[in-house]
Homo-oligomer: A and B are copies of this chain.
Amino acid sequence: MTRTVKLAVIPGDGIGPEVVAEAEKVLDAATAGSDVVFDKTRFSLGAGRYLETGDTLTDDDLAAIKSHDAIVLGAVGGVPGDPRLKDANIERGLLLKLRFELDHYVNLRPSKLYPGQPGPLADPGDIDFVVVREGTEGPYVGNGGSIRRGTPHEVANETSVNTAYGVERVVRFAFELAERRSKRLTLVHKTNVLVNAGSLWQRTVQEVAIGHPDVAVDYLHVDAATIFLVTNPGRFDVIVTDNLFGDILTDLAGAVTGGIGLAASGNINPSGEHPSMFEPVHGSAPDIAGTGTADPTAAIGSIALLLDHLGLRDEADRVSRAIEDDISERGAEPRTTAQVGDAIAARLQA
């Protein structure tokens, strides 16, 4: 009996299509001979599509994507400063729109320093933590505006919206993840300044903690958390935080674990009501697009998260191990995008 997974593939812009090609290669290798079949639909979305048609994400696109079981995304965004994109906001209109419309309230971003992986820290120690970033609230809701725009009296506001409903569900997810890991959870916020949102987050963590007495909970202000990420990243296991703080912490975490060329992420809708979306943390890097130098490891890591999300734990573990082995045995010689994908895929066929 075969299981068919309907997979929406959004290669996107810049290096997106290049890294997605390697991710697909690895997905095929990881599931070859298994009873899972991926039925793929390719969506042309991003700055390229916008420049051709003026569309960012139509209702039809969205409806079609929603009919899939999961999504793999490369990267979206055009060349910075391209005048033709002046009025487009591909990030908000496409990437964030997908996260919000598909209710991706868990943005899961693991950070692990693999043996042999060079990084910027002199003495990194063991780094292996996961950031559970809230994905549908906070300062990302687009709840802002400006008055008297362009005048000396302009006022521009941005409102961070946080709900008990939204905070509780992501905090629960983080506690459950901590149960399966080393049972340490750190809430990161800025409760001494953002007192209303901070209080909601803090009370929610305290309440959910009651049901998880074996999880050790601590709290850090976001500024202090960035310090620990460079002085003692080994102290972290599961971090739960809001949308904006999670954005900042995961880029920094990516850097300390060897670069965002390695950082994978899952935009998860745990209820399964909508398809979850798996993407590298990096962007479309138009400056190196077409040169064959983009590192596809992050995109391939997203495949491991996808497989895990689909309940294909063995396949997920095999991909993770293949990535880990590939990284630890990397020579000094630079490899092309395809060479990295081939090498990881080959480990799965072995």
Complex formed: what's the CA distance from A123 to B120 in Å? 7
A159→B158 contact, CB < 8 A: yes
Complex formed: what's the CA distance from A197 to B156 in Å? 5
Q: Is A227 an interface residue (CB 8 A)?
A: yes
B193→A139 contact, CB < 8 A: yes
A163→B158 contact, CB < 8 A: no
- CB proximity to B under 8 Å, residues A203-221: 203
Most buried by B among A92, A119, A197, A226: A226
Closest CB in chain B relative to A142 CB, distance in Å: 8
Copies in the complex: 2
- On whether A199 and B146 interact (CB within 8 A), knowing A153-B164, A192-B91, the answer reads yes
Most buried by B among A92, A145, A153, A251: A251
- CB proximity to B under 8 Å, residues A151-166: 151-165
**Which residues of chain B have C-beta atoms less than 8 A from A154's C-beta?**
163-164, 200
- On whether A157 and B162 interact (CB within 8 A), knowing A193-B92, A195-B144, the answer reads yes
**Which residues of chain B have C-beta atoms less than 8 A from A168's C-beta?**
152
| Contact for A91 among B152, B156, B158, B193, CB less than 8 A | B193
Write the A219-245 contact mask toward B (1 if CB under 8 angstroms, else 0). Answer: 000111011011100000000000010
List 13 additional contacts besides A120-B122, A157-B160; criterion CB under 8 Å: A139-B139, A142-B195, A144-B160, A146-B196, A146-B199, A152-B165, A153-B164, A154-B200, A223-B247, A226-B226, A226-B252, A227-B254, A230-B255
Instruction: Pick the 8 closest A-B CB pairs, nearest first.
Output: A223-B251, A154-B164, A226-B252, A156-B196, A156-B200, A122-B122, A144-B196, A227-B255
A residues touching B (Cβ–Cβ < 8 Å)? 89, 91-92, 96, 119-123, 139-140, 142, 144-146, 148, 150-165, 168, 190, 192-197, 199-200, 203, 222-224, 226-227, 229-231, 244, 247-248, 250-252, 254-256, 259-260
